[in-house]
Amino acid sequence: MKDANMTKPCIICVAITGSLPTKENNPAVPITVAEQIESTQEAFEAGATIAHCHVRDDEGKPTSDPERFGRLKEGLEKHCPGMIVQLSTGGRSGAGQTRGGMLPLSPDMASLSVGSNNFPTRVYENPPELVDWLASEMVKYGVKPEIEAFDLSHILKAADMFKKGQIAETPYVQFVMGVKNAMPVDRDVFEYYIKTVHRLFGEDANWCAAGIGAHQITLNDWAVSSGGHARTGLEDNVRIDRDTLAPSNAALVQRVVDLCDKYERPVATWQQAREMLNLKVPAVA
């Protein structure tokens, strides 16, 4: 069935900021809300249709401040009409329920981690009661979760939550590979992830993949050539090649557009992306 999925338009997600990269790492990392809106608009024009967003405080540190998320969401809806806004609930491990404080804004989507794992220098904590609470808030506010699969068990946990009604619709899973101390970039595991998603959620189930650092382009290539959707952006990787910093989020999006051309996958328009993910079409656009 892989072939049928290869005719699907490819949804490009741009993870614009994240909670770690700084201006010192790459001056193109957008930190203020105004910078984030400008950077996302360029990425949207380049072909991205989902904006995965974190926000930072005045010192550039990660925050879950609903007011900042609200300003960003409003700016994106105005300057990138139709683009899918996805807010991160994962950026501040250990912060408890404040991680979901922006969900009452009812963004189109929010990221949802359903289990814990190690990160480069710490434990990425997602205790069961917090996962249940975040999922219930998403159901309450009509927010579609994107399941961040740092491990195979996270895909099976999402299936279990779907069966129990904790996730309203067929889970949209993102495979994250290449985080140090979590799942490495491994082609056999990648293939098994795809097989598992199709077994649990159907042969035409949509999925996405992200690779960290230099692995970003590898996972982009694997995802586009395997009928999946692709995530890129400065959150995951600040370089365009070994020696060169990426000039913008848009430049990283362009690399995925080039891969879509190479593998003859159309790049999804925002309308197609919303249709595939069963998201409402905003009246404004």
Residues in contact with Zn ion by the rule CB under 5 A: 88
- Of the candidates 192, 111, 204, the one whose C-alpha atom is nearest the C-alpha of residue 158 is 111
Nearer to Zn ion, 200 or 246 (CB): 246
For Zn ion, the closer CB: 36 or 88: 88
Q: Return the number of the residue (40 or 88) whose C-beta is nearest Zn ion.
A: 88
CB of 31 to Zn ion, least distance (A): 14
Alpha carbon 243 to its chain centroid, in Å, reads 26
Closest residue to bound Zn ion by CB: 88
Backbone angles phi, psi at 269, to 5 degrees: -75, 170
- Say if strands 109-112 and 144-149 run parallel, antiparallel, or are unpaired: parallel
DSSP state of 11: P
Please say which residue, 150 or 190, places its beta carbon nearer to Zn ion.
Answer: 150
Decide if 231 contacts 25 (C-beta within 8 A). no
Helix (H, G, I), strand (E, B) or coil at 218: helix
Q: How far is the CB of 264 from Zn ion (least distance, A)?
A: 30
Q: CB of 52: closest distance to Zn ion in angstroms?
A: 6
State the nearest-atom distance from the C-beta of 54 to Zn ion, in Å.
5
Q: How far apart are CA 132 and CA 262, in angstroms?
A: 41
